[in-house]
Amino acid sequence: MTPLLAGYRRFRAETWPQQRARFEALAAQGQKPHTMVIACSDSRVDPQMIFSAGPGELFVVRNVANLVPPYMPDAAFHGTSAAVEFAVRVLAVKRVVVMGHALCGGITALIRGAPEQARDFVAGWIGIAGKARAVALRCDDPVAAQEAGEHEAIRISLANLMTFPWVAEAVTEGRLTLHGAHFGVATGRLLLLDAEGHFAPV
Ligand SMILES: [Zn+2]
């Protein structure tokens, strides 16, 4: 716990005094985040850091490979779908951003197979983006295949979001917009999915 507690002490000494009033207002009034971000659990891709956001701005769910499953209201434990439901129906966020990233281990596992120690859950989970594997395998170069897989998985998650009836309704009524983004870990650059379906630099 040593590195965590050292970081916590820096937070208390430096960040908390600056942000205290904001936290107190958020505690009193409740949160009203403008954006939901669905990002990867990867330790290098922190949405709050990338978007220079403060407390109360982003409602974030992070999972392996930033995937959204299709709408399946059954008895299974749908953590990501629960977060989408809360963000869209209760908090009424204005936009949902699915943010993928370069060097995504989840997408590597999708293309090459999950590591043997990660087959209880990871293998099934990344199957959500199964169609991205076929797209990736059309590339000769492994770097291009990885990137194509990452991009296609974002498109699949955006399409899956539209299978949630209240997401589709909010989008149709103009209350909600959906966006795809891809962060370059080595470059620090963000690409946005444009209307033609291509990822272009911001
Ligand atoms: Zn990842």
CA of 152 to the centre of ligand 1 (A): 13
Least Cα distance to 45 among 99, 108, 113 occurs for 99
What protein residues have CB closer than 5 angstroms to ion ligand 1?
Answer: 40, 42, 104, 106
CB distance 60 to 50 below 8 Å:
no
Query: What is the model's pLDDT at position 176?
Result: 98
Query: For residue 85, what pLDDT band results from cuts at 50, 70 and 90?
Result: very high
DSSP 78: -
CA of 119 to the centre of ligand 1 (A): 17
CA of 127 to the centre of ligand 1 (A): 14
> Cα dist. 30→55, 163, 200 in Å?
11, 29, 36
CA of 103 to the centre of ligand 1 (A): 7
Query: What is the model's pLDDT at position 54?
Result: 95
What is the rounded CA–CA span in Å between residue 111 and residue 148?
Answer: 10
CA of 39 to the centre of ligand 1 (A): 8
107-162 pLDDT, tens digit each: 999 999 999 999 999 999 999 999 999 999 999 999 999 999 999 999 999 999 99
